Amino acid sequence: MENQKTLDLPEIQAIRFDIETLQYNAASLAKYASQAPLYIRHNGVIAFAILPARMFDEIWVGPQRRVYSTDELPDYLYEELIQGIEQILDD
């Protein structure tokens, strides 16, 4: 054990919220969810992990893995259409 090298990794301890008290903590959850990852627990067990969009994009690169809200979906489809048209015109 003495010869094991320790890694210089930052400690990651996400903020946790309980689903049972979520109605009282909604403002705090919205504040922290845009800054760093957080967890929502149900009966003391982590049930959901929430990542800010910028962190999600760094981890899972590419639009095929992203879930879009209904507000973002038309913009995404428009971008796909424009890219397809540009590819056809370039060929």
Query: Each residue of 9-67: pLDDT tens digit?
Result: 445 566 788 888 888 888 888 888 778 788 888 888 888 888 777 777 777 766 666 66
Pairing of strands 15-18, 38-42: parallel
Q: What is the pLDDT of residue 86?
A: 92
Q: What is the pLDDT of residue 48?
A: 84
Query: Each residue of 60-78: pLDDT tens digit?
Result: 766 666 666 666 667 777 8
- One DSSP character per residue, the chain reads -TTPPPP-PPP---EEEEGGGHHHHHHHHHHHHTTS-EEEEETTEEEEEE--HHHHHHHS-SGGGPPPPTTTHHHHHHHHHHHHHHHHHH-
Q: What is the pLDDT of residue 5?
A: 63
